[in-house]
Copies of this chain bind each other. A is one copy, B any other.
Amino acid sequence: MRFLRTLPLLALPLAALAGKPAAKAKAAAAEPVRPVKTFHVYVNDGMWKLADGTEFYIIGYVRYNDNWEEAPAGVQLPSPTLPAPTMRVTEGDEVHVVLHNMGHHHADKGSQIINVPHTIHFHGLDLVQAIDGVPDVPAEGLPDRVFSGVPVGDTYEYRFAAEHEGTYSYHCHVDAPTHILMGMYGAFIVDSKTPHTMYGRHYDREYTLFYSEVDTKHNEAIRTEGTYNMMEFKGDYYLLNGRIFVSNLKNPLSTVADPNSVIVANEGETVLLRILVMSFEHAFVLHPHAYHMQVIGTDGRPLTAPYWKDTLPVQSGERYEVLVPIINKRNKVCLSCGMGKGVSIFHDHNFRGETSNGQYPKGPLTVFVVK
């Protein structure tokens, strides 16, 4: 590779450990011991069903249990979800993430997707790791998994310190557009050490809203063939936390049947919304009918000059943190929302997003519910 130069050996900073457990920095005694949080992550594939009956093939990251513990040998893993489960740590933690590439078992036998490597990119955590290897020759000595991803049947342990509170994401970066849009993405939250604060500001409740674009033809082609001409990619479903809203408010698969997506709050509270997007070309432009949102941070960094929006554009990969004060909303009706008292809608105003499969109101619409 023409652009690589010889690099002198550097002292490894304590903040960036990686590789085998034996490689603990001896200087650790000079620094307070960081709490260690370990996450065992497994690749798995399966089918995902939406509220309108549409079902499509997805590939995602799963965990054995809510504690992200290592799965006993031979146990059956849970089916993947959209999005993948949220990883959560506290600022200052040392984080160990063990990626297990279990292969795919729900695609067609002839599909090229059966045997592909995977990685995890911790988007926004700006991670670079010290890796054992010959320092003068930048590529030599680096394990193949670093270049080509973790192959089927193999594992890899990422280790890093979470240095900045914020909202980040984790997603695959092998054949990135396809793997990500197949479902290999989830939120990664770094909390402040002070509970219920974000960038020093108090909040009472929080919700993580992960928006995504799907082309079901793309997912089906990957399931059967393993390849897709991305010039043909045309989104047909626009999801919030993996779901769409439908006219039947009682549909159990709707966005408004998901407690992670319905923004419940008490009158007088301040709600924190963590907003994330993965898409091929759609901008989600988020509009609550009854509120203004104060944008306090983005991409894991506070804004020195927060601003208010009632219509917030978010592009693929971006994150925003907004605070929503719930003032004088209880028992009130939003007349354009078509809902009951204390309930108002929050949806994508970039209208392709609200017409999944060509039909309104199928899209990433959810509601605020004030108690």
Where the two chains meet, the residues of A that have a C-beta atom closer than 8 Å to any C-beta of B are: 1-5, 7-10, 13, 15-16, 18, 119-124, 126-131, 133, 135, 138-139, 142, 146-149, 156, 158, 173, 175-178, 180-181, 228-234, 236, 249-250, 256-257, 262, 264, 267, 279-283, 285, 287, 289-292, 298-301, 303-311, 313, 315-319, 328-344, 349-352, 354-355, 357-361, 367, 369, 371
CB pair A262 B3 closer than 8 Å:
yes
CB pair A369 B333 closer than 8 Å:
no
Q: Would you list 23 pairs from A and B whose C-beta atoms are within 8 A, ordered by A residue? A: A4-B341, A5-B369, A120-B335, A120-B336, A124-B311, A127-B290, A127-B334, A128-B329, A129-B333, A131-B332, A147-B339, A176-B351, A176-B360, A178-B360, A287-B317, A292-B299, A292-B301, A303-B305, A304-B306, A304-B307, A305-B307, A311-B317, A316-B350
Chain B residues in 8 Å Cβ range of A250: 1-2
CB pair A299 B303 closer than 8 Å:
no
Instruction: Write the nearest CB–CB distance from A75 to chain B, whole angstroms.
Output: 27
Question: Which of A128, A133, A232 has the most chain B CB within a 10 Å cutoff?
Answer: A128
Q: How far is the CA of A335 from the CA of B160 in the complex (A)?
A: 11
Q: How far is the CA of A349 from the CA of B83 in the complex (A)?
A: 18
Instruction: Write the nearest CB–CB distance from A368 to chain B, whole angstroms.
Output: 10
Closest to A7 in B: B331
Closest to A371 in B: B5
Copies of this chain held together in the complex: 3
CB pair A138 B349 closer than 8 Å:
no
Closest to A160 in B: B335
Q: How far is the CA of A350 from the CA of B192 in the complex (A)?
A: 30
Picked from B139, B279, B331, B351, the residue with its CB within 8 Å of the CB of A279 is B351
Chain B residues in 8 Å Cβ range of A354: 176-177
CB pair A138 B257 closer than 8 Å:
no
Chain B residues in 8 Å Cβ range of A319: 311
Closest to A150 in B: B335
CB pair A4 B369 closer than 8 Å:
yes
CB pair A349 B120 closer than 8 Å:
no
CB pair B130 A331 closer than 8 Å:
yes
Instruction: Write the nearest CB–CB distance from A94 to chain B, whole angstroms.
Output: 16
